[in-house]
Structure 1
Amino acid sequence: MQTDEHIQADEWIDRYLAGNLDGESLEKLKQWALASEERQRYVRSRVELWLSSGASGSHTPFDSDKAYERFLSHKAAQRPVAGRRVMRPWWKLAGRVAAVILIILLPLIGYWRGEQAIEQHFADIVVEAPLGARTKLNLPDGTQVWLNAGTRIVYSQGFGVSNRRLTIEGEGYFEVAHNQKIPFEINTREVDLRVLGTKFNFRNYPNDQEITVDLIEGKVVLHNDIKPMSELYLNPDEKMVMNRVTGEMKKSSTKASQSNVWINDELFFDEDSLEDIAKRLMRSYNVQIEVADSLRGRRFYGSFKVQGNSVENILDAIASTHQMRYRYDDGKYILY
C-alpha cells in the first residue's frame, strides 16, 4: 500500500522520466531517497518499471500498472543464450537510461548497482570485416577502429557507459578517445590490453602463431593470461610479440607507423615469414595458399598496394628473389 510520501515520490520520478522535473523538485527527490535503503530500492524499482513500459520518447503518460505487467512479461520471456544478453525492445533507450542512472541512481545507491541496472538491458554488438575487405567504425566513446580482412570484434551496447571493453579476433588499428575515468580494454584468451587514450595496432588471428601489439602513440599495459609474469608496458615505437602456444611475451623496438599501413590498402612485409605472408594474402584476396614445408622459415621484405595488384603480381615479385616458385592447382596457389 502506497503512503502519501510514496505518491509524492512517484510524481517526482514520473515527471523526471518525462523530462519536465524542475531542479528544486529533483533535489527534494534526492533528499527523500537518501533517507533510507528502502526508498533507494523504491526509486530503482520505479526506473526498472519505466524501462519496461516503452514510455520513453512518447507523449503517453506513464502507467505504472501497465508497466508492471510488461515488466513481468519481459522477465518471464527472458532466456539466456550462449553467454549473450538477449536484445530487448528498449535497447535504443541506452542514452536516456544512462542519464537516469547518473543523475538519480548513482548518487543514491552506489555506482556498482547503477552499472548492473544499466547493463542487464544491453546486448552484444558484433562487427566483422569479411575476407577480402576492410572496414572502419566509430565506437560510442569516439574511438575510431579500422578492421582488417577476416576480423571480428564484439562489444556491449553499453560501451562507454560503465566500461570500454571489447574482444577481437583478427587485426585492428585503434585510435582511442581519451577518458581518464574509464580505461579502454581489449580482452582475449591470451592477453589483455588496457589504455586511456592512444594509437596502436593489435593483431590476434586465431590461426596465427603469434599475437602482436605495435604502439604508435601513448602508452599501453599488457597482462599475460597464459603465463604468469609481470605486466608489460609499451611506449611509442615498441612492439609486443606473444607466442600463442608457450605464452612467451617479449618487447622490442620497431617502426610502429608501418604496422597500420594496411588501413591505406597496403601490404608491408618486414622480414616476415612466408607462412605469415601467405596468411595475409589469403585474407586480403580471399584465396587459398599452401606453403611447402621446405619453405617454412623463409622471410621476405616488401611493400605492395592491394588495389591495382593481383595476388599473382605479389607472388611474382616474391618469386623474383629466386627463393621460391608457385603454381595454381585445384583452386589454390601452391608455393614450393
Structure 2
Amino acid sequence: MENRIWFLYAKKLTGEATDVETRELNELLSSRPELYDELAALETVWATPSEISTPSDSDFNQLAAKIQSQGYDFEWPVQEAEEPVATAATPVRWLRRPATWIAAAAAAAAIITAVWFSHAPAVHMLEEPTMAKANQVSTRPGSRSKVVLPDGTQVWLNADSKLTYGNDFGVSSRDVTLSGEAYFDVKPNKEVPFYIHTSKIKIKVTGTVFNVRAYPNETRSETSLLHGKVEVTLNSSPDKTYFLKPSDKLVVTDDGGINQTTAAVAANAMQKQNRVAPAVQIPVMKQLVVKPDETFPVETAWVNNTLAFADESFREVADKMERWYGIEIVFAHQQLEKMRFTGRFENETVAQALEAMQLASPFKYTINGNSVVIFKTTK
C-alpha cells in the first residue's frame, strides 16, 4: 500500500493523476498520515530546479530524474510518453525509500523531530522548526508540524499551536500541555498513561488516535476520537469524567454557548455580592460524520492537507482561514460574521477560497498583503 501511495502522490505533484487516482490517494493517506513528512520531501525535490531532464520528458519522468540526481534509491513505474498507462504485460518497478530515511525514522523515536508545512497554493515547502527549548515545539500561522516524542508517540500540530512536556517525560510520566490543535497517535503504555492538559480539559489515554482542538482564544474545545478510547475531565468539574468511544466528539463550550444573557445575569448577580463568577463549561457529546463522497471527517481534515468546515459561522471559518493561510481577516460589518458555510479546500489560495464561498452567500472582500477585509455587497 505504501508503494502505491508514493506512486499516486508523484502523479498528483506532476498534475498527471486522474480523478480516480486522486480519490484513491486520499483514501490511502487517511490511514497513513505518518507519511506526510516524507511526502513533503518529495515535494521539495520536485520544486527544486534541475538541468537533468529534457523538454520532451513528461513531468512524471522529470520528477523521477530529479529524485535519482539527489542520490535517493527510488524506483519508479516505467512510464512512456506513447503509452502512459502500464498494461498487465508491462513490468512495473515501484519506488523504494532509501535506507538512510529508514535509519532517520528509527532515530526519531529518541528525539523530537519536526517537519514544517507552509500552506502555499501548490507546493508545501520544508522549513526549520521553531523550538524555544528542548521540551517545547510550536507552529506559526500558515504552517503545520509533525513531532515524534521520546516514547514514540506521533503528534501532528496544526497552525499556531504549541506543545510542551516535562524533562521526565516517558520515565515516570507522560504529560503534555497543548495550546492549539493537534492530532495524536499515542504509543501504547498501560503502566504510564498519556495525559494532555489544555486550558479547559484534561485527557487521559493509554494508546489511541484522536484529535484535540483547544485554542486559548476560542470559546470551545473539541476532542474527536478515531480509534481506541479516551477519558476527558473538565478543569471546572474535575469530579466528572467523560468516556469517549470511536467516532465520539466531545465539545466543551464556555457558558454553554447557548444562553449568554442568562450567564451575564448570573455574573452580574455575583459581582454585586463581591464574588467572582466561575467559568461555566457545558460538555456536549456528538458524532463524527463522514459523507459518502469524503474520506475523513471535518475535524481531522487538516491532517490530510484540507481546510474543512461544516455549517460553521463566517467568524469560525475566518478563524480557521487566518491560521491556515497566515493572514488576518476583519469584518467591516459584524452581521456578516453570522453567515454560515460548509466547504473543503486543498490547494486553493485564500482568494480562490473566498470566491468559492461567494457563490453560497453574497459578500465582497479586499486583500492587501496579509490583511483581508470582508464587507457587504451593495445593490
TM-score (norm 2): 0.53
CA contact under 8 A between 2:228 and 2:246: conserved in structure 1? yes
Q: Which residue of 1 aligns with 2:338?
A: 297
CA contact under 8 A between 2:181 and 2:214: conserved in structure 1? yes
Map residues 187-226 of structure 1 onto 2, 5 A cutoff.
Answer: 187-226=197-236
Instruction: Tell me how far apart the structure 2 counterparts of residues 153 and 228 of structure 1 sit (CA, whole Å).
Output: 22
Map residues 120-135 of structure 1 onto 2, 5 A cutoff.
Answer: 125-135=135-145
Question: How many Å apart are 1:297 and its aligned residue?
Answer: 2.7
- Are residue 335 (structure 1) and residue 362 (structure 2) matched? no
Per-residue CA shift, 1:53-80, capped at 9, x if unaligned?
xxxxxxxxxxxxxxxxxxxxxxxxxxxx
Q: Which residue of 2 aligns with 1:325?
A: 364
Instruction: Tell me how far apart the structure 1 counterparts of residues 207 and 362 of structure 2 sit (CA, whole Å).
Output: 43
- Are residue 251 (structure 1) and residue 290 (structure 2) matched? no
Instruction: Tell me how far apart the structure 2 counterparts of residues 145 and 331 of structure 1 sit (CA, whole Å).
Output: 28
Instruction: Tell me how far apart the structure 1 counterparts of residues 208 and 200 of structure 2 sit (CA, whole Å).
Output: 21
Instruction: Tell me how far apart the structure 2 counterparts of residues 243 and 278 of structure 1 sit (CA, whole Å).
Output: 19
Q: Which residue of 2 aligns with 1:146?
A: 156
Instruction: Tell me how far apart the structure 2 counterparts of residues 140 and 330 of structure 1 sit (CA, whole Å).
Output: 40
Q: Secondary structure at the match of 1:134?
A: strand
Instruction: Tell me how far apart the structure 2 counterparts of residues 152 and 164 of structure 1 sit (CA, whole Å).
Output: 16
Map residues 10-21 of structure 1 onto 2, 5 A cutoff.
Answer: none
Per-residue CA shift, 1:174-196, capped at 9, x if unaligned?
00111010111001231100011
Counterpart among 303, 306, 315 of residue 266 in structure 1? 306
Instruction: Tell me how far apart the structure 2 counterparts of residues 162 and 217 of structure 1 sit (CA, whole Å).
Output: 25
Q: Which residue of 2 aligns with 1:87?
A: none
CA contact under 8 A between 1:129 and 1:151: conserved in structure 2? yes
The one-letter code matched in structure 2 to 1:324 is F
Instruction: Tell me how far apart the structure 2 counterparts of residues 322 and 277 of structure 1 sit (CA, whole Å).
Output: 14
Q: Which residue of 2 aligns with 1:77?
A: none
Q: Which residue of 1 aligns with 2:100?
A: none
Q: Which residue of 1 aligns with 2:178?
A: 168
| Number of aligned residues | 213
Task: Mark the CA change 1:203 to 1:253 in structure 2 (over 3 Å): closer, same or farther.
Answer: same
CA contact under 8 A between 2:183 and 2:209: conserved in structure 1? yes
The one-letter code matched in structure 1 to 2:339 is R
Percent identity (aligned):
32
Q: Which residue of 2 aligns with 1:312?
A: 351
Instruction: Tell me how far apart the structure 2 counterparts of residues 322 and 206 of structure 1 sit (CA, whole Å).
Output: 29
Displaced runs of 4 or more, over 6 A:
none
5+ unaligned residues in a row in structure 1: which ranges?
1-94, 96-122
Question: How many Å apart are 1:331 and its aligned residue?
Answer: 5.5
Higher helix share: 1
Counterpart among 148, 170, 188 of residue 178 in structure 1? 188
Map residues 61-76 of structure 1 onto 2, 5 A cutoff.
Answer: none
The structure whose RCO (Cα within 8 Å, separation 6+) is larger is 2
Instruction: Tell me how far apart the structure 2 counterparts of residues 183 and 228 of structure 1 sit (CA, whole Å).
Output: 18
Task: Mark the CA change 1:209 to 1:324 in structure 2 (over 3 Å): closer, same or farther.
Answer: farther
Task: Mark the CA change 1:219 to 1:277 in structure 2 (over 3 Å): closer, same or farther.
Answer: same
What is the RMSD of the two structures over their aligned residues, measured on CA atoms? Answer: 1.9
Q: Secondary structure at the match of 2:343?
A: strand
CA contact under 8 A between 2:326 and 2:370: conserved in structure 1? no
CA contact under 8 A between 1:220 and 1:235: conserved in structure 2? yes
The one-letter code matched in structure 1 to 2:179 is E
Instruction: Tell me how far apart the structure 2 counterparts of residues 295 and 172 of structure 1 sit (CA, whole Å).
Output: 29
CA contact under 8 A between 2:199 and 2:214: conserved in structure 1? no
CA contact under 8 A between 1:124 and 1:154: conserved in structure 2? no
Per-residue CA shift, 1:30-54, capped at 9, x if unaligned?
xxxxxxxxxxxxxxxxxxxxxxxxx
Task: Mark the CA change 1:331 to 1:189 in structure 2 (over 3 Å): closer, same or farther.
Answer: closer
Instruction: Tell me how far apart the structure 1 counterparts of residues 190 and 373 of structure 2 sit (CA, whole Å).
Output: 50
Q: Which residue of 1 aligns with 2:251?
A: 241
Per-residue CA shift, 1:94-150, capped at 9, x if unaligned?
x9xxxxxxxxxxxxxxxxxxxxxxxxxxx8611011111101011111110000010
Instruction: Tell me how far apart the structure 2 counterparts of residues 236 and 243 of structure 1 sit (CA, whole Å).
Output: 21
CA contact under 8 A between 1:227 and 1:248: conserved in structure 2? no
Question: How many Å apart are 1:330 and its aligned residue?
Answer: 8.3
Question: How many Å apart are 1:228 and its aligned residue?
Answer: 5.9
Question: How many Å apart are 1:244 and its aligned residue?
Answer: 3.2
Greater gyration radius: 1
Instruction: Tell me how far apart the structure 1 counterparts of residues 345 and 303 of structure 2 sit (CA, whole Å).
Output: 13
Q: Secondary structure at the match of 2:281?
A: coil
TM-score (norm 1): 0.60
